[in-house]
Amino acid sequence: MSRLAKLLASQGKSTVRELDAIDLHTHVYLPRYMDLLRARSDVPMVRSGIGGERLIILPAEQQQMEQQSLTTPGISAGRPIGREYWDVTNKIRYMDRHGIRTSVLSLANPWLDFLPLKEQIHQATLLNNDMETLCQDSNGRFLAFGVVPQDSTTAVKEVQRVASELPHIRGVILSTAGLNGKGLDDPEMLEFYRAVDRAGLTIFLHPHYGVGNEHYCKYGHALFLALGFTFETTVAVSQLVLSGLLDQVPDTLRLLLAHSGGTLPFLAGRLDSCVEHDAAIAQRLQHAPSVYLKRFYYDAVAYHEPALQCLIDFVGADKIVFGTDHPFFPPAKDKESEELSELDWRSTLSNYEIMANMTKEVQSAMLRDNAKKLMDI
């Protein structure tokens, strides 16, 4: 019996289409946002090349683009993008094929930090309104995370507006670089965290540009995504924990970490030990770092059973939610005419398969039950 068949049998299902999962890590580039990126001549931007458009969001990718012509076969500058990035009917077909009942959509990085503040405020309002309309028209298939301007005062105002006026938006996606790149540990973040908690929303922490990028340029975008993004989450969340800010907000604050928390589940014990032997930091905190880390929720976008098991052993299955990172990591097409939404996505199926050896109760918790609790579904 295959691992996927084993999961289906455990859940009492005969096909993947029946799994009834809730996807909390799934992105969309709204048409308005795509227009914004297409109109730009500097990163982040969208450029036409061989086989269609490419998304260029990292400075190193722009350097690669300048060194290689976008009409050169095999170029790896940026990422190829197609309808699956902005066409939600395409996403629904993908969801139906892969057993996803509800997707909690989020705009993908780089969000709004490249715009002047006045334009950030304007675009956040428009994009959140667009997202609300999209969800309203989805017949219950979509909820969403909103976006906020990169200034604490205006970010708080948008959180308050979202909570009072946009019922399908259940949280906000936030760069692990914090607001305006100042970090999650910036003291100005305190009022933002409190505002989100008062509103009963969830913060989805997602890496922005990655860290250590100077080491990755020789290898396309593979190491930027595999290491740069996960290391950014690891560093940023560790800084938040060690800053002591979490002792100044209620422990009811809902934080969801992307990509299974980067390397935090694996390194939590080492972080505890190092803080214990640094008196200045240890005295600042009410608890060991791992205590704070266990308050957070984590997605199951791990692609590897030992990694997911490490996360379960660390935080417990009741703090883990299903995710796909769609529409990134698409399957290879045998024919150019094939629609990606009509193909099996290996990246998605692997996130199902790594649950195969777990109990039915753990599977159900991660596939849907924890998401219902976290997002008030």
Q: What is the pLDDT of residues 134-159, one digit of tens each?
A: 999 999 999 999 999 999 999 999 99
pLDDT value at position 223? Answer: 87
Asked whether residue 270 is assigned to any structural domain, the reply reads yes
pLDDT value at position 172? Answer: 99
Asked whether residue 337 is assigned to any structural domain, the reply reads yes
Q: What are phi and psi of 205, to 5 degrees?
A: -85, 120
Angle at alpha carbon of residue 257, lines to 220 and 26, rounded to 5°: 65
Q: What is the pLDDT of residues 179-225, one digit of tens each?
A: 999 999 999 999 999 999 999 999 999 999 888 877 887 777 788 88
Report how far apart, in Å, the C-alpha atoms of 253 and of each of 143, 191, 203, 245 are: 20, 12, 8, 12
Which range (274-278, 305-309, 337-341, 369-373) has the least confidence? 337-341
Asked whether residue 53 is assigned to any structural domain, the reply reads no
DSSP secondary structure, 148-215, as one string: --SSHHHHHHHHHHHHHH-TTEEEEEEETT-GGGS-TT-TTHHHHHHHHHHHT-EEEEE--S-S-GGG
Query: What's the mean pLDDT in 265-289?
Result: 97
Query: What's the mean pLDDT in 323-335?
Result: 84
pLDDT category of residue 369 using cuts at 50, 70 and 90: very high
DSSP state of 344: -
Q: Specify whether the CB–CB gap between 150 and 120 falls below 8 A.
A: yes
Tokens of 273: 């030990």
Query: What's the mean pLDDT in 19-48?
Result: 95
pLDDT value at position 197? Answer: 99
DSSP state of 319: G
Asked whether residue 75 is assigned to any structural domain, the reply reads no
Average pLDDT over the chain, rounded to whole? 92
Q: Specify whether the CB–CB gap between 170 and 201 falls below 8 A.
A: yes
Element (H, E) at 77: none
Tokens of 281: 């930091």
> Which range, 181-185, 334-338, 347-351, is most confident?
181-185
Asked whether residue 76 is assigned to any structural domain, the reply reads no
pLDDT value at position 57? Answer: 85
pLDDT value at position 310? Answer: 97
Per-residue pLDDT for 69 more than 90? no
At 12, which amino acid appears? G
Q: What is the pLDDT of residues 311-325, one digit of tens each?
A: 999 999 999 999 999
pLDDT value at position 339? Answer: 77
Asked whether residue 25 is assigned to any structural domain, the reply reads yes
Comparing CA positions, the residue from 207, 201, 187 lying closest to residue 58 is: 207
Question: In the chain, how many domains are there?
Answer: 1
Per-residue pLDDT for 19 more than 70? yes
Domain coverage including residue 221: 3-30+87-375
Asked whether residue 45 is assigned to any structural domain, the reply reads no
Query: What is the chain's alpha carbon radius of gyration, rounded to the nearest angstrom?
Result: 20
pLDDT value at position 210? Answer: 86
Q: What is the pLDDT of residues 218-258, one digit of tens each?
A: 777 788 889 999 999 999 999 999 999 999 999 999 999 99
DSSP state of 245: G
pLDDT value at position 189? Answer: 98
pLDDT value at position 66? Answer: 66
Omega before 207 cis (within 30°)?
no
Asked whether residue 271 is assigned to any structural domain, the reply reads yes
User: Could you tell me the pTM of the whole model?
Assistant: 0.94
Tokens of 241: 């924990």
Composition of the chain by helix, strand, coil, percent to 5? 50, 15, 35
Query: What's the mean pLDDT in 326-347?
Result: 79
pLDDT value at position 3? Answer: 83
pLDDT value at position 120? Answer: 98
What is the CATH number for 292? Answer: 3.20.20.140
Report how far apart, in Å, the C-alpha atoms of 358 and of each of 183, 349, 355, 363 are: 36, 16, 6, 6
Q: What is the pLDDT of residues 71-89, one digit of tens each?
A: 565 555 678 899 999 999 9
